[in-house]
Structure 1
Amino acid sequence: MREQAAFEARTLVRQSNVCVISTISKNLAGYPFGSVSPFMSDNQGRLVFYIAGIAQHSRNLSEDSKMCATVFNAAEQGDQNAHARVTVVGDASPVPAEEHEALLARYERQYPEAVSYRQAHDFQLWRMEVKRVRYIGGFGHIFWIEKDEWQQAEPEWDLDAEAHMVKHMNDDHSDANRLILKLIHNISAEQVEMTTIVSDGCYLRANEKNYYIQFENVCLDSMSVRKELVRLTKAAREQLAEYTE
Structure 2
Amino acid sequence: MTISSARKHAGPGPATDLPPVPEPTFAERTRTLVYLGRTASLSTLSRKQSGFPFGSVMPYGLDDRGRPIFLISTMAMHTQNLQSDPHASLLVTQQDSEDEPLGASRVTLLGNVLPVPKAELTDARKLYLQRHANSKYWVDFEDFSFYRMDVVDMYYVGGFGVMGWVSASDYDRSQPDPLADSMAEIIQHMNADHKDALVMLARTFAHMDSTEATMTAVDRLGFHVRLKTPEGMRGARIAFSTEVNNQGETRKVLVEMVQHARSQIK
Given the two structures, how large is their TM-score scaled by the length of structure 2? 0.57
Q: For 2:183 and 2:166, locate their aligned partners in 1 and report how far apart those are by CA, in whole Å.
A: 31
Question: What secondary structure is seen at the aligned counterpart in 1 of 2:51?
Answer: coil
- 1:64 maps to 85
2:81 is the counterpart of 1:26: no
2:125 is the counterpart of 1:87: no
Q: For 2:38 and 2:163, locate their aligned partners in 1 and report how far apart those are by CA, in whole Å.
A: 23
Deviation at 1:105, TM superposition (A): 2.2
Choose the corresponding residue for 1:132, options 153, 165, 172. Answer: 153
After superposition, residues 71-220 of structure 1 pair within 5 angstroms as 71-73=92-94, 77-120=98-141, 122-152=143-173, 185=185
Deviation at 1:182, TM superposition (A): 7.9
**Structure 2 unaligned spans of 5+:** 7-23, 176-180, 189-217, 221-244, 253-266
Shift in CA distance, 113/74, structure 1 to aligned 2, threshold 3 Å: closer
Shift in CA distance, 184/131, structure 1 to aligned 2, threshold 3 Å: same
Q: For 1:38 and 1:65, locate their aligned partners in 2 and report how far apart those are by CA, in whole Å.
A: 18
Residue correspondences, number = 174
Does structure 2 retain, via aligned residues, the 8 Å contact 1:131–1:147?
yes
Deviations 1:1-55 (A, max 9, x none): 3661111111111111010000001122211000111112222221111111111
**Structure 1 unaligned spans of 5+:** 155-180, 188-213, 217-230, 240-245
Considering only CA atoms, is the larger Rg found in Structure 1 or Structure 2? 2
CA RMSD of aligned residues (A): 3.3
Does structure 1 retain, via aligned residues, the 8 Å contact 2:41–2:90?
yes
Q: For 1:70 and 1:118, locate their aligned partners in 2 and report how far apart those are by CA, in whole Å.
A: 24
Higher helix share: 1
Identity %: 27
Given the two structures, how large is their TM-score scaled by the length of structure 1? 0.61
Q: For 1:184 and 1:75, locate their aligned partners in 2 and report how far apart those are by CA, in whole Å.
A: 9
- 1:35 maps to 56
